[in-house]
């Protein structure tokens, strides 16, 4: 069976100071892959690493730029270069030192990459219990459990550091005239990053294309590694990235120019790791054969290899090799499997199905949310503005004054929180944010327990999250004048909004807008509480209440999501009911649609309770009838009447009590 010498990067994770301090991610090299091994792998079919081989044969520079599609692919290239390069150097120069190496295909100890399976709501309870008892990760003896008091440099362990961390730390270190809030921020940062002590041995620096900060303005931060034996700079392309508003050819040109400038500054080699679809299809088959060999598996006759490989890679397109290893481990967890059949891989359909059902956030915004055409248009414009501003910044035309701060106002139940989440997901997909950490807080949550506590509490919220949704923002201030706690929180808010103008998404939300009188418009109270906040809000998005037709669509959509079949025979009665409800000052919008459906389901449960269990089939359990709808309407009208209590109806000059 054909087998590659290198199947995956041995990426490990450790924690300093007995596991209580900084997290360290590094490549462990174990001395098994030589220049001849790289040559054999390329000849076998790993042709995307052809330039790695060519560069090693003629001699690599100290600084190497690797332009690749994914992190796994880039770390594979680093593993080949670092391993084979050091062995070549030891052979030719007979230098003393620790020979660097890497994991061979025969070894089964895996790195600690992130788990790629999403098991919730996929397995049955029995299957889930069985899966929980099985350890997917067999951790190497010298890798993940290491708890050094400090990072010790070694040619066999290459730290993997994000470029954004290096650039940010350099910027903070070079800052002049630091105020009290900046010093407080330094205090929260704690000790220096461990990689500041990496001064001699090789290091791997990772940067995703289109991410912050831009490379052209932060190249100087890499000069701190000018004495390291080797610097491997990974430029990771997002090959699946497609512009929401058109192609990305301009972005590709700009990325190439950035890499050329970096190469010129550090006299670096540029290695491109790439191939067409046929190249990667053949390589994935080699990986699959390699993992079969590692686990001593055979496949039965007429085994649909290409079909199975496609399913495995669909689970995680960014880490095909590590996904294959996890699948092989799971299949062989009981130790009895030797010859594999198609049936052994049937469980993959659960994962593939779970992945394909997850819609793109743009599609969810456009297709799943009922109405709100004006809201959708404004979000598209905001994303387009963010991308435009980013392109100008990367082209050296300045940062601009755009702040990614927005105000969502409207009645309760109009999907403001849902839209805020989708805005964040869209911006993450478009790589306009550094991450997708989402926090939803109430405005009052920003106020501390004592004087001096509100500022660090607000600062911590911004430090730990990328998308910050502050609901009922007016609760930061009191009905009259802001107290000392409010003033402290508002002052820190202004600092954070200015500091994170582009790298955070901040959304204030609450009840207000054109349908609310100025006296009852609480969001106006919040906006007027601090001019610094008002000047940094770049867009105001108003959420209209739903009309009766939209409420009908929402009820049908919610029913379908819960796998109920709601008859259309009662649609006219549903519209008539909501035509009255939308005029009520206590109308709950989307929340009321959910409550309405729950009442319909309750009526169905009562209806079926009188039937014998053996006569209730799957179709009956899913069907919601016209009678169920009528019963729900009657029940909700009664509930609304009870909640409203006594009201006075004025007939001319005569007052009557109903």
Mean pLDDT score of the chain: 78
Give the per-residue pLDDT at 645. Answer: 62
DSSP string, 508-546: EEES-STTS-GGG-HHHHHHHT-HHHHTT--EEEEEPPP
166 pLDDT above the threshold of 80: yes
Strand partners, 25: 13
- Who wins on pLDDT, 391 or 191? 391
Q: How would you label 446-473 residue by residue, b for 16+ Cβ within 10 Å and e otherwise?
A: bbbeeeeebbbbbbebbeebbbbbbbbb
Give the per-residue pLDDT at 268. Answer: 94
Q: Residue 326 corresponds to which tokens in the numbers above?
A: 């996890």
If you average pLDDT over each of 96-100, 500-504, 595-599, which comes out highest? 595-599
Pairwise CA distance, residues 176 & 222, whole Å: 20
- Who wins on pLDDT, 134 or 13? 13
Is residue 146 a contact partner of residue 22, using CB atoms and an 8 Å limit?
Answer: no
DSSP string, 157-213: EEEEEEHHHHHHHHHHHT--S--HHHHHHHHHH-SPPGGGG--SS-EEEEEETTPSS
At 516-550, the pLDDT tens digits run 666 667 788 888 888 888 888 888 999 888 888 88
At 31-66, the pLDDT tens digits run 788 899 999 999 999 999 999 999 998 888 999 999
Strand spans (E) along 411-522: 438-442, 467-471, 505-510
At 64-90, the pLDDT tens digits run 999 998 999 999 999 999 987 666 555
Sheet of 203-208, strands arranged across: 11-15, 23-28, 157-162, 203-208, 231-236, 63-68, 269-272
Is residue 472 a contact partner of residue 510, using CB atoms and an 8 Å limit?
Answer: yes
For domain 548-657, is the CATH number 1.20.120.1810?
no
Pairwise CA distance, residues 458 & 489, whole Å: 6
Strand partners, 154: 157
Is residue 442 a contact partner of residue 574, using CB atoms and an 8 Å limit?
Answer: no
Pairwise CA distance, residues 73 & 320, whole Å: 10
At 588-619, the pLDDT tens digits run 888 888 889 999 899 888 888 877 666 777 78
Integer-rounded Cα radius of gyration of the chain: 30
Instruction: Kindly report the backbone phi and psi dihedral angles of residue 96, in degrees, each rounded to the nearest multiple of 5, phi listed first.
Output: -80, 160
Strand partners, 11: 27
Q: State how far the alpha carbon of 16 is from the alpha carbons of 30, 140, 156, 463, in Å.
A: 22, 17, 18, 22
Class of domain 361-543: alpha beta
Domain with CATH 1.10.8.60 in the chain: 548-657
Pairwise CA distance, residues 270 & 234, whole Å: 10
Instruction: Kindly report the backbone phi and psi dihedral angles of residue 422, in degrees, each rounded to the nearest multiple of 5, phi listed first.
Output: -65, -40
Tokens 């819960």 correspond to 562
Instruction: Kindly report the backbone phi and psi dihedral angles of residue 234, in degrees, each rounded to the nearest multiple of 5, phi listed first.
Output: -90, 120
Is residue 33 a contact partner of residue 101, using CB atoms and an 8 Å limit?
Answer: yes
- Who wins on pLDDT, 487 or 652? 487
Q: Residue 426 corresponds to which tokens in the numbers above?
A: 């869209």
Q: Residue 237 corresponds to which tokens in the numbers above?
A: 């392309």
Pairwise CA distance, residues 182 & 9, whole Å: 39
239 pLDDT above the threshold of 50: no
- Count the neighbouring beta carbons within 10 Å of the beta carbon of residue 649: 9
Q: State how far the alpha carbon of 557 is from the alpha carbons of 403, 566, 569, 608, 628, in Å.
A: 35, 10, 16, 23, 17
Angle, vertex CA 225, rays to CA 220 and CA 230, nearest 5: 125
Q: Residue 489 corresponds to which tokens in the numbers above?
A: 């929180």
Is residue 321 a contact partner of residue 287, using CB atoms and an 8 Å limit?
Answer: yes
Pairwise CA distance, residues 608 & 613, whole Å: 9
Q: How many CA atoms lie within 13 A of 175 on its CB side?
A: 13
**pTM of this structure:** 0.49
Pairwise CA distance, residues 288 & 3, whole Å: 9
394 pLDDT above the threshold of 90: no
Is residue 504 a contact partner of residue 458, using CB atoms and an 8 Å limit?
Answer: no
Q: If we measure between CA atoms, which residue out of 402, 360, 365 comes closest to residue 500? A: 402
Give the per-residue pLDDT at 8. Answer: 92
Classify 14 as helix, strand or coil.
Answer: strand
Q: How many CA atoms lie within 13 A of 334 on its CB side?
A: 7
202 pLDDT above the threshold of 90: yes
Is residue 99 a contact partner of residue 90, using CB atoms and an 8 Å limit?
Answer: yes
Strand partners, 157: 28, 154
Q: Is 150 exposed, middle or buried (0-12, 13-18, 19+ CB in 10 A)?
A: exposed
118 pLDDT above the threshold of 80: no
Strand partners, 543: 410
Pairwise CA distance, residues 206 & 217, whole Å: 16
Segment 305-320 shows an average pLDDT of 88
Is residue 211 a contact partner of residue 164, using CB atoms and an 8 Å limit?
Answer: yes
Strand partners, 160: 204
Least confident range from 157-166, 315-324, 645-654: namely 645-654
Q: If we measure between CA atoms, which residue out of 56, 53, 54, 52 comes closest to residue 66? A: 52
- Count the neighbouring beta carbons within 10 Å of the beta carbon of residue 175: 11
Q: Tell me, what DSSP letter sits at residue 364?
A: I
At 295-308, the pLDDT tens digits run 999 999 889 998 89
Domain with CATH 3.40.50.300 in the chain: 361-543
Segment 331-342 shows an average pLDDT of 82
């Amino acid at each position: 069976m054909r087998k590659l010498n290198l199947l995956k990067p041995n990426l490990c994770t450790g924690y300093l100071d007995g596991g209580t301090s900084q997290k360290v991610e590094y490549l462990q090299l174990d001395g098994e892959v030589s220049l001849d091994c790289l040559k054999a792998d390329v000849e076998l079919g790993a042709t995307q690493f052809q330039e790695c081989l060519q560069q090693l044969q003629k001699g690599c520079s100290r600084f190497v730029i690797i332009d690749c599609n994914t992190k796994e692919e880039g770390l594979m290239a680093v593993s080949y270069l670092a391993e084979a390069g050091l062995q070549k150097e030891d052979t030719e120069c007979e230098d003393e030192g620790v020979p660097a190496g890497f994991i061979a295909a025969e070894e089964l100890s895996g790195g600690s990459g992130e788990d790629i399976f999403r098991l919730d709501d996929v397995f049955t309870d029995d299957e889930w219990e069985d899966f929980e008892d099985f350890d997917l990760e067999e951790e190497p003896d010298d890798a993940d459990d290491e708890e050094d008091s400090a990072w010790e440099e070694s040619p066999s362990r290459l730290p993997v550091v994000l470029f954004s961390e290096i650039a940010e730390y350099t910027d903070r270190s070079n800052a002049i005239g630091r105020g009290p809030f900046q010093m407080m921020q330094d205090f929260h940062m704690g000790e220096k990053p461990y990689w500041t002590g990496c001064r001699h041995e090789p290091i791997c620096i990772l940067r995703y294309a289109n991410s912050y900060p831009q490379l052209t303005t932060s190249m100087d931060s890499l000069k701190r590694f000018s004495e390291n034996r080797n610097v491997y700079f990974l430029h990771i392309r997002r090959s699946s990235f497609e512009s929401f508003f058109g192609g990305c050819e301009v972005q590709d040109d700009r990325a190439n120019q950035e890499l050329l400038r970096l190469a010129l500054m550090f006299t670096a080699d540029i290695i491109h790791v790439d191939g067409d679809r046929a190249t990667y299809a053949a390589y994935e088959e080699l990986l699959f054969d390699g993992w079969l060999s590692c686990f001593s598996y055979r496949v039965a006759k007429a085994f649909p290899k290409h079909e199975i490989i496609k399913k495995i890679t669909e689970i995680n397109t960014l880490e095909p090799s590590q996904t294959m290893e996890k699948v092989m481990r799971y299949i062989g967890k009981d130790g009895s499997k030797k010859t594999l059949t198609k049936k052994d891989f049937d469980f993959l359909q659960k994962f593939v199905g779970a992945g394909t059902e997850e819609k793109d956030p743009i599609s969810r915004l456009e297709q799943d949310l009922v109405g709100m055409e004006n809201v959708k248009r404004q979000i598209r414009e905001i994303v387009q503005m963010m991308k435009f501003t980013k392109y100008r910044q990367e082209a050296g035309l300045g940062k601009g004054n755009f702040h990614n701060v927005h105000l969502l106002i409207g009645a309760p139940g109009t999907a403001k929180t849902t839209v805020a989440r989708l805005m964040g997901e869209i911006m993450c997909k478009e790589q306009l944010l550094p991450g997708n950490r989402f926090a939803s807080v109430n405005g009052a949550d920003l106020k501390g327990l004592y004087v001096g506590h509100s500022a660090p509490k607000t600062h911590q919220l911004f430090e730990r999250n990328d998308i910050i949704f502050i609901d009922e923002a007016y609760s930061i201030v009191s009905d009259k004048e802001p107290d000392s706690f409010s003033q402290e929180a508002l002052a820190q808010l202004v600092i954070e909004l200015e500091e994170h103008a582009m790298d955070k998404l901040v959304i204030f939300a609450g009840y207000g807008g054109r349908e609310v009188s100025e006296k009852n418009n609480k969001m106006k109270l919040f906006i007027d509480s601090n001019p610094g906040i008002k000047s940094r809000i770049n867009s105001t998005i108003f959420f209209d209440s739903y009309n009766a037709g939209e409420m009908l669509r929402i009820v049908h959509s919610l029913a379908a999501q819960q796998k109920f079949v709601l008859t259309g025979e009662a649609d006219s009665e549903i519209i008539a009911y909501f035509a009255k409800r939308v005029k009520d000052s206590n109308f709950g919008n989307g929340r009321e649609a959910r409550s309405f459906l729950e009442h319909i389901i309750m009526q169905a449960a009562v209806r079926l309770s009188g039937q014998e269990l053996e006569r209730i089939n799957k179709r009956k359990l899913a069907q919601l009838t016209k009678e169920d709808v009528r019963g729900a309407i009657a029940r909700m009208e009664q509930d609304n009447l009870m909640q409203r209590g006594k009201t006075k109806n004025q007939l001319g000059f005569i007052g009557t009590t109903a």
